[in-house]
Amino acid sequence: MTSFPYIIAIHLVFGLGLGIIMHRSDFCMAGMFRDVFLLNDYYRMRSLLLLIVLTSLLLYLGRISGIVASYPPSFFGTPSITNLLGGVIFGTGMVLAGGCAVGTLYKMGAGNLVSLFAFAGMIFGSLLFAELYAFNLSLTDATTMTVNKTSAEHIVGNAGLPVLALTAFAAFFFYRWIKEKKWIEKTYAHGHLLPWKAAMLIALITMLSFILSGRPLSVTSGFAKLSAYLGEQISPVYIADKPFFREDSLRLLNSTVTSGRLGTGIDSIALTQVPMIAGVVIGSFVSAVRLREFRIGHLPPLRQILSALSGGIMMALGSLMAGGCNVWHIMGGLPVFALQSLLFVSGLTAGSYFGTYMLRRIVV
Partner 1 sequence: MEKSFENVVLDIRGQICPACLLITLREINNNMARLRSGWTRLIVKTDHRDATRTIPSAATAMGYDINIVKKEGFYEITIEHKK
Kindly list the residues in this chain that would bind partner 1 in the complex (CB under 8 A): 23, 26, 28, 30-31, 34-35, 38-39, 41, 43-44, 98-99, 111-114, 185-190, 192, 292-295, 297-301, 304, 307-308, 359-360, 363-364
Instruction: Report the distance separating Cα 90 and Cα 106, nearest Å.
Output: 18
* Residue closer to partner 1, measured from CB, 41 or 247: 41
* Residue closer to partner 1, measured from CB, 38 or 208: 38
CB contact set of 268 (below 8 Å; sequence gap of 6+): 250, 251, 252, 255, 257, 258, 259, 260
Instruction: Report the distance separating Cα 364 and Cα 353, nearest Å.
Output: 16
* Residue closer to partner 1, measured from CB, 140 or 304: 304
Instruction: Report the distance separating Cα 105 and Cα 278, nearest Å.
Output: 9
Shortest CA distance to 47 belongs to which of 61, 62, 31, 59?
Answer: 31
CB of 307 vs partner 1, minimal distance in Å: 7
CB of 215 vs partner 1, minimal distance in Å: 29
CB of 348 vs partner 1, minimal distance in Å: 16
CB contact set of 218 (below 8 Å; sequence gap of 6+): 273, 324, 325, 327, 328, 332
* Residue closer to partner 1, measured from CB, 43 or 133: 43
* Residue closer to partner 1, measured from CB, 44 or 261: 44
CB contact set of 221 (below 8 Å; sequence gap of 6+): 249, 250, 260, 262, 269, 273
CB of 47 vs partner 1, minimal distance in Å: 12
Is residue 177 within 8 Å of 50, Cβ to Cβ? no
Inter-residue long-range contacts of 183-188, CB under 8 Å, 24+ positions, other chains counted? 183/46, 183/47, 185/43
CB of 268 vs partner 1, minimal distance in Å: 33
* Residue closer to partner 1, measured from CB, 179 or 361: 361
* Residue closer to partner 1, measured from CB, 10 or 309: 309
CB of 8 vs partner 1, minimal distance in Å: 30
CB of 239 vs partner 1, minimal distance in Å: 32
